[in-house]
């Protein structure tokens, strides 16, 4: 039995979406960040990092969203997600995924979260939030230039890098970061995917009246 722990964040959304996209059965444990649930002994025994998302099956336990999604996509896709088929393509997928996670997620959007939503913990700073938003916008322009009229980041089709980017675009929209026209078009295409809609309801039930 596959199990996923985590709810309510872009990072927990990613593996849920991959499972929904692949049609995989899994058990979902809806525990959120900073609720005390990740500090409970039973979860800490599973994941000493005390972070979500966390994934487990009979073969492996994983605690980082990129690693979880790559494992699921590369091992269980039957054509639903594009999988690189050459070393060069694998490297390009890693390049896009690392870029999105490192620059847009961690260095941009999460800095905005730290100094706005989590200001009571890390200190509120509108100046830092504005600077981080500008940083995100700069990197979105890089992606927009790459996309042009393309519908996916990789030439092989919709895959891991797109799931990484889409999860960040939801975050951008929530924080009021304007999407370039090329990215807005891209976003609308993939937000129409049925698996995306199912994953949104599971991961963000409060947006749908608590109906997951």
pLDDT in tens, 100-124: 999 999 999 999 999 999 999 999 9
Q: What is the pLDDT of residue 212?
A: 52
Mean pLDDT of the chain: 96
| Chain centroid to CA 26 | 18
Work out the number of other CB atoms within 10 angstroms of the CB of residue 160: 27
- The strand pairing partners of 5, in sequence order, are 29, 54
Question: In terms of C-beta density within 10 A (0-12 exposed, 13-18 middle, 19 or more buried), how is residue 17 classed?
Answer: buried
Q: How many CB atoms lie within 10 A of CB 150?
A: 12
Nearest CA among 1, 28, 15, 135 for reference residue 70:
15
pLDDT tens-digit readout, 164-182 = 999 999 999 999 999 999 9
What's the CA gap between 49 and 126, in Å, rounded?
29
Give the residue-averaged pLDDT of 125-137: 97
pLDDT 10s digits, 184-211: 999 999 999 999 999 999 999 998 886 5
Place of tokens 């999105």: 100
Q: What angle do CA 75, 24, 98 make, to 5 degrees?
A: 50
Residue 136 has a CB neighbour count (10 Å cut-off) of 24
């Amino acid at each position: 039995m596959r199990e996923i722990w985590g709810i309510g964040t872009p990072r927990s959304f990613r593996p849920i979406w991959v499972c929904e996209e692949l049609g995989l059965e899994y058990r979902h444990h809806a525990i959120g960040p900073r609720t005390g649930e990740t500090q409970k002994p039973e979860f800490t025994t599973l994941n000493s990092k005390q972070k979500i998302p966390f994934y487990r099956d009979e073969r492996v336990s994983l605690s980082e969203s990129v690693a979880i999604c790559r494992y699921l996509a590369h091992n269980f896709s039957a054509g639903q997600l594009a999988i690189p088929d050459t070393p060069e393509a694998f490297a390009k997928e890693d390049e896009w995924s690392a870029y999105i996670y490192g620059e847009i997620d961690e260095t941009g959007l999460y800095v905005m979260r730290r100094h706005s939503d989590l200001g009571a913990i890390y200190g509120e700073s509108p100046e830092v939030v504005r600077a981080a938003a500008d940083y995100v916008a700069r990197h979105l322009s890089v992606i927009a230039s790459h996309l042009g009229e393309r519908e996916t980041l990789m030439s092989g089709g919709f895959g891991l890098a797109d799931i990484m980017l889409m999860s960040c675009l939801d975050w951008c929209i929530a924080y009021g970061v304007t999407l370039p026209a090329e990215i807005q078009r891209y976003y609308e295409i993939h937000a129409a995917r049925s698996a995306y809609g199912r994953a949104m309801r599971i991961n963000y039930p409060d947006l749908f009246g608590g109906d997951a």
